[in-house]
């Protein structure tokens, strides 16, 4: 187990962690988003979108956290991240929905009040939510079908 605490606070301002218990074997690592090059991550995301490439789960997570890495132009960065997110391709629609929920929190934290609704439209939250609900319903249907099949097998075993 390796615990990681991420924070937008510069590392130099984070307090040192004190281990109060001898049984606590692994200490969490503190990672400040200020230590990352937000522009480098943004450029990488731009190229993935431009080349129509699929994003992995980690790349999607990186994308939504770019605004935390770039405090100077956060409005402009957040705008571009929302645009790239709307163009981002992922195989897992449920995961994209979960990332969108994370981005929604970031929008509410960092965007100006007058920009929040517009940015929510940019990431197309309504469509993402609809796609996720459809995927979840398909998964439930598959589980029901598997349950029926398992029930039939149990009944067959009992008769055999």
Residue 137's pLDDT is what?
80
- Asked whether the beta carbons of 4 and 28 are under 8 A apart, the reply is yes
What does the pLDDT read at residue 125?
74
Which residues are 32's β-sheet partners? Answer: 7
Ranges of residues in the chain whose predicted pLDDT is under 50: 18
pLDDT of the residue at 49: 96
Token pair of 158, please? Answer: 């009992």
Query: What digits encode the pLDDT tens for the residues 35-82?
Result: 889 999 999 999 999 999 999 999 999 999 999 887 678 889 999 999
- Give pLDDT, residue 104: 92
Write the secondary structure of the chain as one string of H (helix), E (strand) and C (coil).
Answer: CCCEEEECCCHHHCCCCCCCCCCCCCCCEEEEHHHCCHHHHHHHHHHHHHCCCECCHHHHHHHHHHHHHCCCCHHHHHHHHHHHHHHCECCCHHHHHHHHHHHHHHHHHHCCHHHHHHHHHHCCHHHHHHHHHHHHHHHHHHHHHHHHHHHHHHHHHHHC
């Amino acid at each position: 187990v390796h615990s990681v605490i991420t924070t937008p606070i510069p590392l130099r301002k984070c307090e040192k962690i004190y281990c109060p218990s001898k049984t606590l074997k692994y200490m969490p690592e503190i990672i400040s988003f200020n230590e990352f090059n937000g522009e480098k991550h943004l450029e990488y995301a731009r190229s993935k979108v431009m080349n129509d490439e699929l994003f992995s789960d980690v790349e999607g997570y990186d994308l939504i956290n770019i605004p935390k890495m770039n405090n100077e132009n956060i409005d402009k960065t957040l705008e571009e991240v929302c645009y790239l997110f709307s163009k981002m391709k992922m195989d897992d629609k449920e995961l994209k929905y979960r990332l969108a929920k994370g981005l929604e929190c970031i929008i509410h934290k960092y965007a100006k009040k007058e920009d929040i609704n517009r940015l929510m439209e940019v990431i197309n939250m309504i469509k993402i939510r609809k796609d996720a609900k459809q995927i979840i319903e398909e998964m439930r249907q598959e589980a029901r079908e598997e349950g029926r099949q398992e029930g039939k097998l149990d009944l067959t075993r009992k008769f055999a």
